[in-house]
Amino acid sequence: MLTGGRVAAVWPMANALAHGGTVAEPGARGWLVAAVMLLISLAMAAVHLAALRCPDYRAKLAARDRGVRPATTRAEGMEVKVHHGPKCGTSSESEYRTPPASATGGCC
């Protein structure tokens, strides 16, 4: 009944079943790719939601670095990251260390 060429071209799974063949099940590789893509999208959403936000407006705070102590070739430097809300004036600061400066003075 399903031996016609047009039917086989339109419904290859039906043709395979009609002739006693089996239809291949989706493999584990497809599930693995889907799981990895889901994890990547969840990680991206977490990074987006973790940005510092204004407590009143829930808008992202603008970030700016301010140098406190410059790095030398022998010692680390110190900088302050200032987060400021342009609408409401909310601000927060966090200190962090910068690596020692390179002796050659250039990158790479």
Quick: pLDDT tens for 33-54: 888 999 999 998 887 777 777 7
Give the residue ranges of the chain where pLDDT is below 70. Answer: 1-28, 103-108
Task: Examine residue 8 and state whether it is found in any structural domain, yes or no.
Answer: no
Residue at 94 is within a domain: yes
In the prediction, which pLDDT does 10 show?
47
% the chain with pLDDT above 90? 13
Instruction: Look at the chain and report how many structural domains it folds into.
Output: 1
- Strand ranges inside the chain, DSSP E: 62-69, 77-84, 91-98
Residues pairing with 78 in the sheet: 69, 97
Residues facing 19 on adjacent strands = none
Q: If you search the block for the tokens 């994890």, which residue do you land on?
A: 39
**Does residue 108 lie in a domain region?**
no
Residue 82's domain comprises 25-98
In a domain, residue 107? The reply is no
Residue 47 belongs to a domain = yes
Model-level pTM? 0.44
pLDDT at 56: 78
Residue 2 inside a domain? The answer is no
